[in-house]
Structure 1
Amino acid sequence: MADNGLFVYGIVPSDVEPTSDAEGVGDPPAEVTVVRRGDLAALVSEVGLGEPLGRPADLTAYQELLDGTAAVAPVLPVRFGTVVTGPDAVADLLDAHHDRFAEALDEYEGRLQYTLHGRFDEQALIRAVLADNPAAAELAGQVRGRPEQASREQRIRLGEIISQAVELRRETENRELVDALAGTSVANAVRPPSSELDSVHVAFLVDGDREDEFVDAAEEFARQRIGLMRLRLLGPLAPYDFVSAHQLAG
């Protein structure tokens, strides 16, 4: 294995077995195996040390393996792209962080991540900003029907007002989302916006026996905002946003 290493996906209890059809990263997809050390184990697959990683298919394989594992057992995702030299290096890592990994696996037993990601409807948002802000409404009136160059200053000021209003609205919506789902989740992590029209982006850690309650609460939040934003509920997922302290350096 001089030219190969092991791609590490996640830390699991030692009794976890990958399914026979589990596929790892690489082209063709590699077989997923387990390196065990006492009561801990790591999901791994062989990868060429010079092989480029990061293709969409690699990210999909990484996520599908971890999300599928999380549905049946606790798993601590390891940062994508972590490659070690071989089984001995994996065993050393498991030994070095045994107590921390074991404690985290107990903490995430029976828990899953859901992520709610929303985007504002641009026109609906602008209408709401103009309705709430007389200065913005006045500027909008001044630029309406005028050439862009002739109304450049007013357009810049209007854009700044709208941008600030979007940031404030996003903060409010994220806060209201967290409040609305706090009763059906055990933890949350607000993610930074991925675009200027992001409305909410929050990950939640949910007990498996409360998934239905959580989904119902998320759907009610979405119903109250029909027309203003479009929302996607992603999950169940591995607890990516809640185990960063346990991730291994790449």
Structure 2
Amino acid sequence: MADETGLFIYGVVPADVEATPDAAGVGDPPGEVAVIRHGDLGALVSEVPLDAPLGRSADLRAYQELLDGTAAVAPVLPVRFGTVVTGPDAVLDLLRPHHDRFAAALAEFEGRAQYVVHGRFDERTLLRGVLDENPAAARLAEQVRGRPESASREHRIRLGELISQAVELRRETENQRLLEATADHVVSTQLRPPSHELDAAHLALLVDTDREAALVDVLEEYAQHRRGLLRLRLLGPLAPYDFVAAHQLAG
């Protein structure tokens, strides 16, 4: 008896979008990507066994590559990773009641892409700055220097708290500086949570594609100005993952 299969949904696109022959979906082997249409909408899907575990790094990579590749040529509303339904009728049950809202959202993202700005502090430079500016932290650092951890535990805990608070304040400042620096070049922004204790900034930016070059120039200038204190990375263009929550796609 053949394994039961379902449809993994990647995202919602305009109805005229076609899946390219080389488009690969999740799973092992990768599923063939197809489009299920209703009115002005289409859903990018691929067949998967209902009992197959999904969540390998290769699956997440296939999901992102398909959506980011689609976003380069057409607007797309990503559906949360791991959304699997029983068949084409269930896909239509997603598209039909939300047709006009999804169509309006696609129009909103036409000609736009997401970028992610991720900055990380240089640890030595950061700590030196914290100790220079915080006499209490500097005294604690002097008290624990060269002492066994067991004999300076309380001082080390307090020093860690002071450093953590200082990093958080610097992170808030850095995010705000980046928001101000990029304000004239973005449509919308979303603050992302830090992914590491030394994160300096983590922002998602929605950008008109005709402003991408200007945004890159601004961020390169910003990174040069902050050189030595932090390293800045720019990821994109991407599908608008951080900006679809308001449209309440299934997942």
Q: TM-score range by the shorter chain?
A: over 0.9
Alpha carbon RMSD of aligned pairs, Å?
Answer: 1.3
2:105 is equivalent to residue 104 of structure 1: yes
1:112 is paired with a residue whose SS is strand
Aligned to 1:234: 235
Q: Is the 2:8–2:85 contact (alpha carbons within 8 Å) kept by the matching residues of 1?
A: yes
Shift of 1:247: 4.2
TM-score normalised by structure 2 residue count: 0.96
Aligned to 2:207: 206
2:241 is equivalent to residue 243 of structure 1: no
Aligned residues: 250
Aligned to 1:121: 122
Same amino acid, percent of matched pairs: 72
Q: Counterparts of 1:146 and 1:4 in 2: how far apart (Å)?
A: 62
Shift of 1:2: 7.6
2:92 is paired with a residue whose SS is helix
1:203 is paired with a residue whose SS is strand
Name the amino acid aligned to 2:215. Answer: F
Q: Counterparts of 1:155 and 1:93 in 2: how far apart (Å)?
A: 54
114-123 vs 97-106, which deviates more?
114-123
Q: Is the 1:6–1:85 contact (alpha carbons within 8 Å) kept by the matching residues of 2?
A: yes
Aligned to 1:156: 157
TM-score normalised by structure 1 residue count: 0.97
Q: Counterparts of 1:95 and 1:118 in 2: how far apart (Å)?
A: 41
Name the amino acid aligned to 1:5. Answer: G
Query: What does the per-residue CA deviation read over 1:201-223, in whole Å, with 9 as the maximum and x for residues that have no partner?
Result: 00000000000001111111211
Aligned to 1:56: 57
Shift of 1:92: 2.0
Query: What does the per-residue CA deviation read over 1:18-61, in whole Å, with 9 as the maximum and x for residues that have no partner?
Result: 22111000000011000011111000000111110000000000
Q: Is the 2:94–2:250 contact (alpha carbons within 8 Å) kept by the matching residues of 1?
A: no
Name the amino acid aligned to 1:216. Answer: D
Q: Is the 1:190–1:203 contact (alpha carbons within 8 Å) kept by the matching residues of 2?
A: yes
Aligned to 1:5: 6
- Unaligned runs of 5+ residues in structure 2 are none
Name the amino acid aligned to 2:77. Answer: L
Q: Counterparts of 2:211 and 2:250 in 1: how far apart (Å)?
A: 33
Q: Counterparts of 2:140 and 2:112 in 1: how far apart (Å)?
A: 50
2:219 is paired with a residue whose SS is helix
- For residues 71-220 of structure 1, the aligned pairs below 5 Å read 71-220=72-221
- Unaligned runs of 5+ residues in structure 1 are none
Shift of 1:116: 0.6
